[in-house]
Amino acid sequence: MKKKSFIIVCIGLVIIIASGLYLNRKDRSSSHLFFKGDTSKVLPQDQDRKNTYIIGVSQLPMTMQPYLQLTEGSRVVNDLVFPSLAKKTKGDYQYQLAKSIVFQEDTHSARIKMDSNSFFSDGCKMTVEDVIYSFMFFNHSSIAYDNKAIYTCIKGMSEYQMGSSDVISGITKISDQEIQIDFIKKSWEMFQAFELPILHPQDHDYSVFDMRKTQLGSGAYKLDKHTLYQEIELIKNNYSHQSAPYKTIKVVPADLNQLESQNLDTMIINQTQLEEIKNLGSYQISQQGMKDQDFILFNLNNEEIADVQKRREMAESIDTKVLFKEAYETGQQSVGLLSGDKEAPNYLSLMKSKKHSLNKSIIFQFSYEGTQQSLYEALTKQLANVGVNVEGRKKPINTSTVEETDVSLYYYSGQIDTLLDNWDLSEFYFQLDGKSLLEAGDLLERYLTEQTYAIPLHYENYYIAHLCDKKDLGLLNDIY
């Protein structure tokens, strides 16, 4: 009996470990199934096609170095070939090549331990030298990288980017598997710094930074062929501990006609194409939330609204489900601040449901475009029930913030990341000291809800078609 129990436990552990290794990401498959599809309508495939996963993208990498760009095709390739230390998804972070990332010294620095099981496609084990090399490569003055501005949050990075220093003073090797990054100040950019693709020079020369050099990755796949503007072919990285569900992955230009012939396994489709894809029958359709969200923001320049208790009192009097229903015809309701579909804890789960009698008048600034007008009308009805009179004020053209101190609330559409450095996050950073990166997303969601700087409303969807009998790798999630 004990032997049988031991076997069951072992099997359970294998399942848990295997699930953690699946392309080194949790919840990879596309969420929010919109249309189920019919597997019986999938055409028979020969063995080669069964072992190949074909992704259609709007734009292939325009150079032989996909890691230097942020196009749809580049992001798909980087996810499979050149993973980073960590990656943000659905408002939280997940480790990729890092084993742990812990903030310390009042969060002005982060101590990073590498995953000792990460190997590049030439069999070399990942070390701190590869991480330091990657930061130096992408930020070198001779390298054209789309995302350089983010990394100026690291001490000494600006001097290195300008060529006045040969080293990055804020990056220190602790051991072969541990590194420390020191930041200039506590800002949200320091979290984005962990998403840099990690490279390994094939010639093992860490002193030369040349765009023509061949760089290797430690993902589940490696680059095999790259025909500019036509196709990228990836094959298994035999040294990777990550599961590679398909022998070959091809990234090609998206073409709706290729869905009709089932020559594509997945691609992003327009809303206008939904019925056409449904009629094909062989593809399931899922919907994914865009990163841009709609919010009602509190004007912190207003003396009364500057009081967090007043903000929270008003927020607790607003039913966002009703606002969403009355103002939006498409998309989904946001339940979280960091990500519209962030699982609990999120704004709705953290915000208490109370009603207060406020007995006052406020000004809501918005444009008179249809959706915003509907929001104003719904907001007016709701707050009237708790004694608040809402006056509308037209938003000035080409402005996203307000300076008028008499405005209490205003409409905003955009990414939460652009707002974070405008708010006082000092208490959040204090709480983060000694915490891991994996705890950061939930801590920030809770802090922002407590401070009530914003009320999430809505985000638009984009749609992903996926051939019914193929494994959904979720590679087009979090693109937009």
* 79-124 residue pLDDT tens: 999 999 999 888 889 999 999 999 997 779 999 999 989 999 999 9
Task: Report, as an integer, the average pLDDT of 52-78.
Answer: 92
pLDDT of residue 210: 93
Q: What is the pLDDT of residues 144-155, one digit of tens each?
A: 998 899 999 999
pLDDT of residue 7: 37
pLDDT of residue 24: 52
pLDDT of residue 423: 92
**pLDDT confidence bin for 402, thresholds 50/70/90:** confident
pLDDT of residue 477: 86
**pLDDT confidence bin for 9, thresholds 50/70/90:** very low
Reading the block at residue 474, the tokens are: 């979720």
pLDDT of residue 355: 59
- Domain 83-216 sits in CATH at 3.90.76.10
**pLDDT confidence bin for 21, thresholds 50/70/90:** very low
Task: Report the phi/psi class of residue 307: left, alpha or beta, with left for phi > 0 and alpha for psi in -120 to 50.
Answer: beta
Measuring CA to CA, which residue among 144, 104, 112 is closest to residue 131? 112
Domain 293-459 has CATH 3.10.105.10: yes
- With H, G, I as helix, E, B as strand and everything else as coil, classify residue 303: coil
22-31, 341-350, 377-386, 439-448: which has the minimum mean pLDDT? Answer: 22-31
Name the pairing type of β-strands 109-114 and 231-236: unpaired
- With H, G, I as helix, E, B as strand and everything else as coil, classify residue 286: strand
Q: What is the pLDDT of residues 266-293, one digit of tens each?
A: 999 999 999 999 999 999 999 988 889 9
Reading the block at residue 34, the tokens are: 């919109």
Measuring CA to CA, which residue among 34, 59, 37 is closest to residue 462? 34
**pLDDT confidence bin for 365, thresholds 50/70/90:** very high
Sorted by where each begins, the domain ranges of the chain are: 2-56+219-288, 83-216, 293-459
Q: Are 371 and 344 in contact (CB under 8 A)?
A: no
Q: What is the pLDDT of residues 127-143, one digit of tens each?
A: 999 999 999 999 999 99
User: Hey, what long-range contacts does 69-72 have (CB within 8 A, 24 or more apart)?
Assistant: 69/146, 70/146, 70/147, 72/268, 72/476, 72/479
Task: Report, as an integer, the average pLDDT of 66-74.
Answer: 91
Beta bridge partners of 175: 178
Beta bridge partners of 172: 180
Instruction: Tell me: pLDDT of 29 over 60.
Output: no
Instruction: Tell me: pLDDT of 52 over 90.
Output: yes
Task: Report, as an integer, the average pLDDT of 347-352.
Answer: 88
Instruction: Return the CATH class of domain 2-56+219-288.
Output: alpha beta
Tell me which of 354 and 218 has the higher pLDDT.
Answer: 218
**pLDDT confidence bin for 185, thresholds 50/70/90:** confident
- Kindly write down the DSSP assignment for every residue of 36-66, as one continuous string: ---GGGSPP--HHHHTEEEEEES---SSS-G
Instruction: Tell me: pLDDT of 58 over 50.
Output: yes
- With H, G, I as helix, E, B as strand and everything else as coil, classify residue 188: coil
Task: Report, as an integer, the average pLDDT of 394-417.
Answer: 84
Q: Enumerate the H helices of 153-221 as residue ranges.
A: 157-162, 189-192
User: Hey, what long-range contacts does 252-258 have (CB within 8 A, 24 or more apart)?
Assistant: 252/54, 252/55, 252/56, 252/57, 252/60, 253/56, 253/57, 253/58, 253/59, 253/60, 253/229, 254/56, 254/57, 254/58, 255/56, 258/56
**pLDDT confidence bin for 62, thresholds 50/70/90:** confident
**pLDDT confidence bin for 358, thresholds 50/70/90:** low
Q: Distance between CA 477 and CA 480 in Å, rounded?
A: 8
Q: What is the pLDDT of residues 295-328, one digit of tens each?
A: 999 999 999 999 999 999 899 999 999 999 999 9
Q: Are 368 and 450 in contact (CB under 8 A)?
A: no
Q: Are 85 and 208 in contact (CB under 8 A)?
A: no
**Burial bucket for residue 447 (CB in 10 Å: 0-12, 13-18, 19+):** buried
**pLDDT confidence bin for 15, thresholds 50/70/90:** very low
pLDDT of residue 83: 95
- Kindly write down the DSSP assignment for every residue of 257-272, as one continuous string: HHHHTT--SEEEE-GG
**How many Cβ atoms sit within 10 Å of the Cβ of residue 178?**
15
Distance set, CA 275 to CA 278, 280, 465 (Å)? 5, 9, 12
Measuring CA to CA, which residue among 345, 326, 318 is closest to residue 454? 318
Task: Report, as an integer, the average pLDDT of 361-377.
Answer: 92
Axis crossing angle, helix 437-451 with helix 308-315, rounded to the nearest 10: 90
**pLDDT confidence bin for 417, thresholds 50/70/90:** confident
Reading the block at residue 263, the tokens are: 């020559």
pLDDT of residue 214: 94
Q: Distance between CA 251 and CA 225 in Å, rounded?
A: 11
- With H, G, I as helix, E, B as strand and everything else as coil, classify residue 350: helix
Q: Are 366 and 397 in contact (CB under 8 A)?
A: no
pLDDT of residue 31: 60
Average pLDDT score over the chain = 89
- Kindly write down the DSSP assignment for every residue of 107-135, as one continuous string: TTEEEEEE-TT-B-TTSPBP-HHHHHHHH
- Per CATH, 83-216 and 293-459 having the same topology is answered no
Among the ranges 43-47, 226-230, 352-356, 385-389, which has the highest mean pLDDT value?
Answer: 43-47
Distance set, CA 421 to CA 153, 286, 323, 362, 469 (Å)? 12, 33, 27, 26, 44
Q: What is the pLDDT of residues 211-246, one digit of tens each?
A: 899 999 999 999 999 998 899 999 999 999 888 999
Q: Distance between CA 135 and CA 155 in Å, rounded?
A: 12
Measuring CA to CA, which residue among 79, 81, 85 is closest to residue 28? 79
**pLDDT confidence bin for 251, thresholds 50/70/90:** very high
Reading the block at residue 19, the tokens are: 């699930």
Reading the block at residue 137, the tokens are: 């490569």
**pLDDT confidence bin for 16, thresholds 50/70/90:** very low
Share of the chain above pLDDT 70, in %: 91
